[in-house]
Structure 1
């Protein structure tokens, strides 16, 4: 058997993500990663050039779970809804890396491929290129806003903090106990309103080529 552990790109990404999940984004360093892999830090550079490159690779793997297949059915509303739900679910599994992902697609192939699908489907449905860009950006604001914080968990369970000073928030102390359910339902409410609002101002889809006038 080899004296040193066998390194692979997949094993490096998995271990790096484990560290991020456990210690946060700032908790990842190439030295700590090497130690957890049982190798010298110099050994990592044969597989990844920099920590930033590694983060992009980890991010790309997470984003493979974002589902844009709904756009293939020709219904941009369904496509947006599927994309948003799967995106939020993917981020919810690894919340510590969300701030890195929130910077935008940059040069991440996984992000750009999915954005290309979304943009193309929206333009094909009759939206202008500018509108398609704005819709995609708005969807990201919604998804990342939901992933970066929990509204319900931010309240104290101490009823006395709200009861006397904020009479309309006298039940706010109950929110942390139902945070997961309420955050999910709040996201669904916002997503539904977003898609319905777009549908109300949607352009008329272009007529199929060769159709009768």
Structure 2
């Protein structure tokens, strides 16, 4: 029997193609008609695997979440909670940096997405094991998501034009070098993320030490994790 000219349609192939389209052209480029055309199939055939475009976007977002390293939160790993949070945050941001157009979807939280929920579960569980009360473990998960997704939503450096005449010193006396930021975008943005992450973790460490660390009674309100 002759092989089909095109690979059989599958959820994995749909997600991979949709993700590539979003990466290349942004969320606005994704439609079921455009996606079907990229796959070389009829539009209705997509509905054998996904009911709506939003379900496809959810699956693309979850595929990105699945790339986030969670090994540092395993009980057998040995890293302390601060080091684990740092290493995870770096992995999380790297995954988002590779797929910046899907960040607005990820920023909404995990919903029912399996990989996103595994991230939430790992962060919350590790913080509770470290001695944080459940309510504060939830707050840490939320805080980290706000910071990491926020850092990936845009570039500070790209917010300035590279025209040295754009920032008149009479109006902006401290922006004489602002036109150089775009040229050094990666260094500026990565430096800002590193500075913010260290400041955030230093603040958590001080709170942890001030409250007695692992000796805290785990008497929080039992909130579920708010990470994605």
TM-score (norm 1): 0.92
CA contact (8 A) 1:155 1:173 kept: yes
TM-fit CA distance, 1:163:
4.0
CA contact (8 A) 1:5 1:37 kept: no
Q: How do 1:155-170 residues align onto structure 2 when only pairs under 5 Å count?
A: 155-164=160-169, 165-170=171-176
Query: SS of the counterpart of 2:213?
Result: coil
State the alpha-carbon separation in 2 of the partners of residues 16 and 97 from structure 1.
11
Partner of 1:54: 56
Which of 188, 192, 200 aligns to 1:194? It is 200
Partner of 1:90: 95
CA contact (8 A) 1:77 1:195 kept: yes
Q: Does 2:134 align with 1:129?
A: yes
Q: Mean alpha-carbon deviation: is it higher for 104-113 or for 157-166?
A: 157-166
| Number of aligned positions between the proteins | 207
Q: Mean alpha-carbon deviation: is it higher for 138-147 or for 51-60?
A: 51-60
Partner of 1:149: 154
TM-fit CA distance, 1:204:
2.0
CA contact (8 A) 1:125 1:206 kept: no
Q: How do 1:104-119 residues align onto structure 2 when only pairs under 5 Å count?
A: 104-119=109-124
Q: Mean alpha-carbon deviation: is it higher for 134-143 or for 54-63?
A: 54-63
Partner of 1:18: 20
State the alpha-carbon separation in 1 of the partners of residues 54 and 63 from structure 2.
14
State the alpha-carbon separation in 1 of the partners of residues 7 and 69 from structure 2.
35
Q: CA RMSD in A?
A: 1.5
Partner of 1:78: 83
Partner of 2:219: none
Which of 45, 50, 59 aligns to 2:47? It is 45
Query: SS of the counterpart of 2:109?
Result: coil
Structure 2: gaps spanning 5 or more residues = 217-228
Instruction: Pick closer, same or farther for the CA change 1:3–1:149 going to 2, 3 Å.
Output: closer
TM-score (norm 2): 0.86
Query: SS of the counterpart of 2:110?
Result: coil
